């Protein structure tokens, strides 16, 4: 498998890959050029639409299905269409996406289509009770669907520690002591358009069952949640952000706790790292991004590589 980007005619990032109808569909962010200076807010990630990619085989031709959803068609959005994900349930396809609302607060929206490549029709309001960034949907074998989300720093998760938005908590990350902030999960309603249960914290713990600490930057959650299932176990994976690893934990149910299992990918070129893990034709693949085509943090390109498990179900570090 050549280490080439999936496509080079546009910049793509944050790939969420799924197999629908026997074909691989990738739901990435669509990066674009901007003059905005790089900052810890992530203002330079100023995306305003989504494209959907598909491929029939790994290494085979990739189809860009064009614009699937754009910011100007979503009534509640002001800017920054960040990392999306998609799900299939009850004959429909759902695109979940984060964006800033008119008050500059990140929320999560959902848009619906009858086909996996879209176009998707957005709901007029964000999902009630949603906040922060990087939604990852997961439909379990029993049909129950979940949405994982959250991201610290520019993703604003630190502003939601009391359950209500506290703007003044935005810059408190440096002072954070004790357990790390935790990603969130909520069960989705049968129609996939709302949360049917409370938003819960997703615990990531060490081998002794202790929550990872906020100072443990090599292992604690930063952003880029993803859920997959392997041999009956639940694998919650994520980016460690400022230390640039993809890491994961293993649990017995969709809510966790997830026991830290190790790294999936060492730092790639570029500040961000974000991924998905999917089984396709009996093999497991990691979709990820780097900045090899641009050399610019905010202009990324999606790639794919095969990953492997050891006999204990641990994911081996991708090579
Ligand atoms: O693409 C914008 C943001 O960069 C995503 O939401 C994060 O996960 C990071 O990849």
What is the 224 CA–ligand 1 centroid distance (Å)?
7
Residues 48-82: pLDDT tens digits?
Answer: 999 999 999 999 999 999 999 999 999 999 999 99
Domain boundaries, the chain: 11-317
CATH number of 11-317: 2.115.10.20
Long-range contacts of the stretch 35-43 (C-beta < 8 A, 24+): 38/297, 38/298, 40/153, 40/154, 41/153, 41/154, 42/80, 42/153, 42/154, 42/155, 43/154
Least Cα distance to 248 among 197, 313, 302, 201 occurs for: 313
The tens digit of pLDDT for each residue in 246-265 reads 999 999 999 999 999 999 99
| ipTM for this prediction | 0.98
pLDDT tens-place string over residues 198-238: 999 999 999 999 999 999 999 999 999 999 999 999 999 99
Cβ(104)–Cβ(50) below 8 Å: no
Q: Which atom in ligand 1 lies closest to the alpha carbon of residue 14?
A: 10
State the residue for tokens 């959005």.
77
pLDDT(84) > 90 = yes
Taking CA atoms only, the protein residue closest to ligand 1 atom 5 is 83
Helix, strand, coil percentages, rounded to 5, for the chain: 5, 45, 50
Distances (CA, A) of 12 to 117, 167, 248, 294: 16, 30, 23, 11
Q: Residue 2 C-alpha to ligand 1 middle, in angstroms?
A: 25
């Amino acid at each position: 498998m050549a280490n080439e980007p999936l496509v080079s005619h546009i910049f793509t990032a944050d790939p969420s890959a799924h197999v629908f109808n026997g074909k691989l569909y990738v739901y990435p962010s669509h990066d674009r050029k901007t003059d905005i200076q790089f900052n810890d807010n992530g203002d330079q990630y100023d995306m305003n639409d989504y494209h959907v990619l598909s491929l029939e085989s790994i290494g085979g031709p990739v189809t860009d299905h064009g614009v699937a959803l754009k910011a100007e068609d979503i009534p509640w959005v002001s800017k920054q269409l960040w990392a999306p994900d998609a799900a299939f349930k009850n004959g429909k396809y759902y695109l979940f996406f984060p964006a800033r609302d008119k008050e500059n607060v990140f929320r999560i929206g959902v848009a619906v289509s009858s086909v996996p490549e879209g176009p998707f029709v957005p709901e007029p309001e964000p999902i009630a009770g949603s906040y922060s960034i990087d939604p990852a949907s997961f439909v379990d074998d029993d049909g129950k669907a979940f949405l994982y989300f959250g991201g610290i720093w520019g993703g604003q998760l630190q502003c939601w520690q009391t359950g209500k938005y506290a703007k003044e908590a935005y810059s408190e990350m440096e002072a954070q002591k004790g357990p790390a902030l935790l990603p969130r999960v909520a069960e989705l309603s049968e129609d996939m358009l709302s949360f049917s249960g409370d938003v819960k914290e997703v615990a990531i713990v060490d081998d002794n069952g202790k929550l990872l600490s906020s100072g443990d930057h090599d292992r604690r959650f930063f952003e880029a949640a993803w859920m997959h299932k392997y041999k009956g176990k639940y694998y919650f994976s994520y980016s460690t952000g400022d230390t640039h690893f993809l890491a994961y934990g293993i649990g017995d149910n969709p809510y966790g706790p997830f026991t830290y299992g190790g790294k999936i990918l060492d730092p790639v070129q570029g500040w961000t790292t974000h991924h998905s893990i999917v089984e396709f034709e009996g093999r497991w693949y990691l979709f990820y991004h780097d900045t090899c085509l641009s050399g610019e943090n905010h202009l990324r390109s999606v790639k794919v590589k095969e990953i492997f498990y050891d006999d204990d179900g641990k994911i081996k570090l991708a090579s």
